[in-house]
Structure 1
Amino acid sequence: MNHGKEILTKVKEKVGLGSTAETGKGKSKISKHVTHGYHTAEGKSAHPMEDYVFAEFKQVEDNELGLFAIFDGHVSQEVPDYLRSHLFNNILKEPDFWNETENAVRRAYRITDDKILEKSAELGKGGSTAVTAILINCEKLVVANLGDSRAVICQNGKAKQLSVDHEPDSERKAIEDRGGFVTKFPGDVARVDGQLAVARAFGDKTMKDHLSSEPHVTVEMINDDTEFAILASDGIWHVMNNQEAVDCIKNVKEAREAAKALIEEALKRNSTDDISVIVVRFH
């Protein structure tokens, strides 16, 4: 057991042409090998940064939780910012969190979405995707997601995707059954009602009748073969597949440097979107 001080640094550092990135790192108190690091980069679009990151280890009674999330807003900074402040609190408030973790996560996602819709006068009509990962005592990883931010783990050098990309094309029937439609016009990306490139999200009050806010939830036990996990917004996945992302950083031992290296590779591959990456190393 290592009860050394947790290193938590949150720095705004200059990257590229005057744009600011958020970066930070931390480590587990119960296993000296488990560390996390994150890094962000603002995209080349005209709007301000809409990605929000949450990453920290938290002591809850006799347990340690690693709480990691990426929220990728659309037409909104308010909704992802609200999620960063409230979603994990809502999950941990669920009375059956420890016994029925997956159900607790599902219910908290629903409660949080209801609250965002209730507060639309103040939070606006935009929305956000989410990918969350809760590491329980460095042994069990509970991943949930809405939208197209993604969670991938590396086991013995091989990438394994833990989340599901909620794309309009793959959920076309459900969207149409709810009275919506999917079209690629204008452009070449399938969009719900011609507007939104994901089939599930938080918020989006004006489109909610046609969107789902039911998360995909999965549990992964961490064993000796599990090397690291990546959580990243779609700015990464537009330009590389899971295995390419894993290969890019498998030899970068420091988690924050790995997150940064992944972003640098995506930028080399001309990703223009906001990009956020969290890397959690298990060995």
Structure 2
Amino acid sequence: MERKRPSQGFSLLDVIKKVVCLDGSSPDTGKGKSKFKSSSITKKVCHGFHLVEGQSGHDMEDYHVAEYRKKKDHVLGLFAIFDGHLGDRVPSYLKDNLFDNILEEPNFWEDPRTAIKNAYRSTDKVILENSMQLGPGGSTAVTAIVIDGKDLWVANVGDSRAVICRGEIAEQLTVDHEPHSERRRIEKQGGFVTTLPGDVPRVNGQLAVARAFGDENLKAHLSSEPDVCNVRIDSRSQFVILASDGLWKVMSNQEAVDIVRPIKDPQTAAKRLTTEALARKSKDDISCIVIRFG
């Protein structure tokens, strides 16, 4: 997530980090599948991920989660991308805490939608209460919970996106929370949206999304309320792509699906997406998770 930043000097360590990133030798990449067994499982789930640092002049601020847990004889696949801005402490906190907070909601199994919304809200509250330690920055989020390979719950704040492939067709499961689309709410709360020549709309001339975790200085005009979507995973559901806006700025939903469809290995597919985004001159951090069903 790009945000206007004050100019700053770079230490020798910063230069070394940048060189390591640009030669492509240190991306965060991997894959996995659930090793848990349950009588409730209808489809096997596997995943691959690939994250690369961008060329925006700051350290990597994207974090991801891709893991499996077993709770109450249900197997959960937990996947997320957190795209930070003005530092990496907020996305790092989300990586360590958001899913725990969701699953600890007392009504998670009966009412996942309300549990996810409550957990997003309470997590943001803690982040704001600890802004001295976590800093002034913030993070977008897209989270996906796969229950027993048959039920998918997706939520998001900001412009990281989830797209599912059904048959050969891309369907967007999330809402891009852009400032211009929420101008009325922002202005009602005392804020404003500006668009300078050659730039994107920004809340109070600063942030390019209308919803995010953290951002204490903008919180009066910024929402952390997620959009939540529930999808039944059926025979037509092939895979889901989670990615930060570093991918979606240069690629349509259908283009991404068309790239992934013929690639069976999800890690290879995720890497292919990031490689294509770089070839299309994306400068932001690029993070991608591909979740395959079957």
TM range (shorter): over 0.9
With over 3 angstroms needed to count, the CA separation of the structure-2 counterparts of 1:242 and 1:18, relative to structure 1, is closer
Residues 155-174 of structure 1 mapped to structure 2, 5 A cutoff = 155-174=166-185
Asked if residue 127 in structure 1 is aligned to residue 133 in structure 2, the reply is no
- Cα shift at 1:19: 5.3
CA RMSD for the aligned pairs?
A: 1.3
Contact 1:154 1:160 in 2 (8 A): yes
Aligned counterpart for 2:23 among listed residues 5, 14, 17: 17
Query: 1:16, 1:153 → 2: CA distance?
Result: 31
Could you tell me which amino acid in structure 1 is paired with residue 143 of structure 2? T
Aligned counterpart for 1:213 among listed residues 196, 205, 224: 224
Asked if residue 28 in structure 1 is aligned to residue 34 in structure 2, the reply is yes
1:193-247 superposed Cα distances (whole Å, 9 cap, x missing partner):
0000000000000000001110000100000000000000000000011000000
Q: Which residue of 1 aligns with 2:276?
A: 265
Aligned counterpart for 1:74 among listed residues 72, 85, 98: 85
- The unaligned stretches of length 5 or more in structure 1 are 1-13
1:96-140 superposed Cα distances (whole Å, 9 cap, x missing partner):
000000000000000000000000000001000000000011110
Residues 204-283 of structure 1 mapped to structure 2, 5 A cutoff = 204-283=215-294
Contact 2:21 2:53 in 1 (8 A): no
Query: 1:18, 1:259 → 2: CA distance?
Result: 15
Asked if residue 146 in structure 1 is aligned to residue 134 in structure 2, the reply is no
With over 3 angstroms needed to count, the CA separation of the structure-2 counterparts of 1:167 and 1:28, relative to structure 1, is same
Contact 2:44 2:149 in 1 (8 A): no
SS in 2 for 1:281: strand
SS in 2 for 1:253: coil
With over 3 angstroms needed to count, the CA separation of the structure-2 counterparts of 1:106 and 1:256, relative to structure 1, is same
With over 3 angstroms needed to count, the CA separation of the structure-2 counterparts of 1:19 and 1:191, relative to structure 1, is farther
Contact 1:42 1:49 in 2 (8 A): yes
1:9-61 superposed Cα distances (whole Å, 9 cap, x missing partner):
xxxxx775155211121112346742101010000111000000100111113
Query: 2:61, 2:200 → 1: CA distance?
Result: 20
Contact 1:160 1:242 in 2 (8 A): yes
Q: Which residue of 2 aligns with 1:58?
A: 69
SS in 2 for 1:20: coil
**TM-score normalized by structure 2?**
0.89
Q: Which residue of 2 aligns with 1:182?
A: 193
Residues 83-122 of structure 1 mapped to structure 2, 5 A cutoff = 83-122=94-133
Contact 2:240 2:290 in 1 (8 A): yes
Larger relative strand fraction: 1
SS in 2 for 1:102: helix
Could you tell me which amino acid in structure 2 is paired with residue 181 of structure 1? F
1:238-271 superposed Cα distances (whole Å, 9 cap, x missing partner):
0011000000111000011110000011111111
Contact 2:174 2:229 in 1 (8 A): yes
Query: 1:259, 1:135 → 2: CA distance?
Result: 18
Query: 2:183, 2:215 → 1: CA distance?
Result: 18
Could you tell me which amino acid in structure 2 is paired with residue 138 of structure 1? G
- The unaligned stretches of length 5 or more in structure 2 are 1-19
Contact 1:26 1:57 in 2 (8 A): no
Q: How many residues align?
A: 270
Contact 1:53 1:84 in 2 (8 A): yes
SS in 2 for 1:36: strand
